Amino acid sequence: MNIELNYTNIMDEIIYEEGISLLDFVNIKEKINTAYDKVMQKCKNDELGFMKIIYDDILIYYELKEYSKDFDNIVVIGMGGSILGTQAIYEGVKGIHYNDLNDKKVYFLDNSDPEKTFEILNIINLKKTLVFAISKSGNTAETLANFLIIEEKLKGITKDYKKNIVVVANTGELKNIADREGYKFYRMPENVGGRFSVFSAVGLAPLCCMDIDIEALIEGAKEMDKLCRNKDIFKNPALMNATIHYIAYNKGKTISVLMPYIERLHKFGLWYRQLWAESIGKNGIGQTPVISLGAKDQHSQLQLYMDGLKNIIITFITVHKFKYDLKIRSSNYLNNRTLSTLIHSEQKGTEISLTNNKIPNISINIDELNEYTIGKLIYLYEMQTAFMGELLEINAFNQPAVEGGKIITRKLLEECPVDEIKESKPTKKYCIEI
């Protein structure tokens, strides 16, 4: 067993009226089959590029891996789907403090916060830094802004600045700059959305320079792909988990909590949050994703989950074998226990307590967290999202509501008066000075 999807605690025989029955699956069997067929047909029609890119040649990245050995730092610039997957894999494999343990440092610029950009630029030696600028549209404002700042500084300190820059894009201003300057360039696939793109150049190009085994990563995704092409819902983990969340949503479970019990998967949770929210939050419907981290959030959010509105479904992620472990010496019940035993017991205790309170919960159990298993995990959630979109009868691969904010932001930067942008204008200002 590499990964197990255990959905026992969502069944009605365990949590009674709050659960899902086998009859619930039977009642929507035709809908489930239709959702499966539509996803497979879209794949066949080359509409779902994320299902195809895992079979692309990855040898093109090994030259870049060798090239990166001359640099002491890597900076990845991107937003949302252009960077979250890379962060999730890097931290999921290497750990949250790997920069402190490794000579080669990795930094992610994923915001327009000037303090963050300033501090990273103060930490690194730019001459010894390989910079990745990643944006499918090539016009993402935050990515362009950070890139242009770094590019200008590189041009000011070295004539060989072109050696320091790698661009991953499809079109837009970023591609135009790469063409004009002659930067190393990797094209993003046209039919792959940003949040589904980590197995393309978006993730593989920077990851191969971070000592990540991208071959094992892709092998994990391929193995999950085989499982996800099985039409039998009881053998297809992505179709099963999508259906569970669909039925739960229709039973009033409008919040999906993801709760890994390992710090290394926190960034995976942030990646999932974007994937689920941006893909299925449309047309007045959608299930809100919430990230919790065990065991620490037992002390902050669990009270609500246990005793608040019964509108949640929780997914635990546990890892059996940690990279390291420590034994506890004590005169009480902790004596001779390990930290891994403690956190596993805390997860199991929370699971049992939630189940006793009739809160539906799923467990994804992983033997060991590495490139292969995180590749399987990410692809599982990508496929689950595709199936969920079809079950909800929405397009899971666009994000039309996001564009409005981008358009208004650009107008503001072009100094368009705020009153000309607002559709409704208050007669006075309502605020409290604090």
Q: Is residue 418, in this structure, part of any structural domain at all?
A: no
Say if residue 224 is in the same domain as residue 349.
Answer: yes
Is there a contact between 194 and 143 (Cβ–Cβ < 8 Å)?
Answer: no
Say if residue 232 is in the same domain as residue 209.
Answer: no
Say if residue 331 is in the same domain as residue 302.
Answer: yes
pLDDT of residue 378: 99
pLDDT of residue 410: 79
278 is catalytic: yes
Is there a contact between 329 and 335 (Cβ–Cβ < 8 Å)?
Answer: yes
Say if residue 205 is in the same domain as residue 243.
Answer: no
Q: Is residue 251, in this structure, part of any structural domain at all?
A: yes
Say if residue 188 is in the same domain as residue 291.
Answer: no
Is pLDDT above 90 for 428? no
pTM of the model: 0.97
Going by their DSSP bridges, the two strands 3-6 and 361-368 should be labelled as antiparallel
Q: Is residue 286, in this structure, part of any structural domain at all?
A: yes
Domain finish residue from 165, 189, 214: 214
Q: Which of 91, 149, 97 is nearest to 121 (CA)?
A: 149
Is pLDDT above 90 for 192? yes
Q: What is the mean pLDDT of the chain?
A: 96
> What value, to the nearest 5°, has the Cα angle with vertex 349 and ends 344 and 355?
125
Task: Give residue-wise pLDDT tens across range 242-262.
Answer: 999 999 999 999 999 999 999
Say if residue 35 is in the same domain as residue 67.
Answer: no
Say if residue 223 is in the same domain as residue 181.
Answer: no
Helices (H), 251-325: 266-280, 302-307
Q: Which amino acid is at 278?
A: E
Say if residue 34 is in the same domain as residue 92.
Answer: no
The phi and psi torsions of 244 (rounded to 5 degrees) equal -60, -45
Which of 278, 351, 382, 390 is catalytic? The answer is 278
Q: Is residue 155, in this structure, part of any structural domain at all?
A: yes
Task: Give residue-wise pLDDT tens across range 342-360.
Answer: 999 999 999 999 999 999 9
Q: What is the mean pLDDT of residues 316-327?
A: 98
Confidence of residue 317 (pLDDT cuts 50, 70, 90): very high
Look up the domain containing 30 and give its range: 3-41+217-392
Residue 293 sits in a domain whose CATH number is: 3.40.50.10490
Task: Give residue-wise pLDDT tens across range 45-67.
Answer: 999 999 999 999 999 999 999 99
406 is catalytic: yes
Q: For 111, which DSSP code?
A: S
Count how many domains the chain has. 2
Going by their DSSP bridges, the two strands 129-135 and 73-77 should be labelled as parallel
Could you give the C-alpha distances from 432 to 82, 386, 422, 429, in angstroms and in order?
A: 38, 45, 22, 10
Burial of 244 (0-12, 13-18, 19+ CB in 10 A): buried
Say if residue 67 is in the same domain as residue 92.
Answer: yes
Going by their DSSP bridges, the two strands 73-77 and 255-260 should be labelled as unpaired
Say if residue 128 is in the same domain as residue 235.
Answer: no
Q: What is the mean pLDDT of residues 101-105?
A: 95
Q: Is residue 411, in this structure, part of any structural domain at all?
A: no
Is pLDDT above 60 for 433? yes
Q: Is residue 7, in this structure, part of any structural domain at all?
A: yes
Which of 128, 155, 321, 406 is catalytic? The answer is 406
Burial of 11 (0-12, 13-18, 19+ CB in 10 A): middle
Say if residue 193 is in the same domain as residue 226.
Answer: no
Confidence of residue 1 (pLDDT cuts 50, 70, 90): low
Q: Is residue 189, in this structure, part of any structural domain at all?
A: yes
Q: Is residue 401, in this structure, part of any structural domain at all?
A: no
Which of 299, 425, 428, 429 is catalytic? The answer is 299
Domain finish residue from 214, 232, 247: 214
Say if residue 270 is in the same domain as residue 356.
Answer: yes
Is pLDDT above 90 for 412? no
Confidence of residue 6 (pLDDT cuts 50, 70, 90): very high
The Cα 273–Cα 256 span in angstroms is 9
For residue 215, the tally of other CB atoms under 10 A from its CB is 16
320 is catalytic: no
The Cα 418–Cα 421 span in angstroms is 5
Task: Give residue-wise pLDDT tens across range 264-314.
Answer: 999 999 999 999 999 999 999 999 999 999 999 999 999 999 999 999 999
Domain finish residue from 187, 214, 241: 214
Question: Which of the pair, 419 or 371, is modelled with greater confidence?
Answer: 371
